[in-house]
Amino acid sequence: AQSVTQLDSQVPVFEEAPVELRCNYSSSVSVYLFWYVQYPNQGLQLLLKYLSGSTLVESINGFEAEFNKSQTSFHLRKPSVHISDTAEYFCAVSSGTYKYIFGTGTRLKVLA
């Protein structure tokens, strides 16, 4: 069975500092990996995804994530965060069928 672990429930970081949000998954087959962002009182929005090809994927607003098969990880990073990045971030895994499993989320709080 697939599962997703986001070890950090909350991550406070100062503005313009780098951040890494951790995601580990378990699956016995090939996977597709996703990061979603949820701003207060809004639905989930796709931030970036790994389906195949290059293991490093990037979003339009400066986030990146690297698929590491040997460590079964898909950590999200940004070299310099902004106040507007304050949100909850969810990692999700799919084995390419219909199942999408989400982690419990990491609340990123960017401090001025």
Partner 1 sequence: GAGVSQTPSNKVTEKGKYVELRCDPISGHTALYWYRQSLGQGPEFLIYFQGTGAADDSGLPNDRFFAVRPEGSVSTLKIQRTERGDSAVYLCASRLDRGGELFFGEGSRLTVL
Q: Measured on CA atoms in the order 53, 44, 65, 95, is the torsion positive or negative?
A: negative
Largest CA distance in the chain: 42
Q: Which of residues 69-88 bind partner 1 (CB under 8 A)?
A: none
Please tell me whether residue 28 binds partner 1 under the rule CB under 8 A. no
Of 79 and 96, the one with the shorter C-beta distance to partner 1 is: 96
> Which among 7, 21, 17, 4 is positioned nearest to 83, based on CA atoms?
17
Please tell me whether residue 50 binds partner 1 under the rule CB under 8 A. no
What is the total residue count of the chain?
A: 112
> Which among 41, 91, 42, 81 is positioned nearest to 61, based on CA atoms?
81
Of 86 and 94, the one with the shorter C-beta distance to partner 1 is: 94
| Shortest distance, position 4 Cβ to partner 1, whole Å | 8
Please tell me whether residue 59 binds partner 1 under the rule CB under 8 A. no
Please tell me whether residue 34 binds partner 1 under the rule CB under 8 A. yes
Number of DSSP helices (H) and strands (E) in the chain, helices first: 0, 12
Which residues contribute to the site for partner 1 (CB under 8 A)? 4, 6, 9, 32, 34, 36, 42-46, 49, 51, 90, 92, 94, 96-105
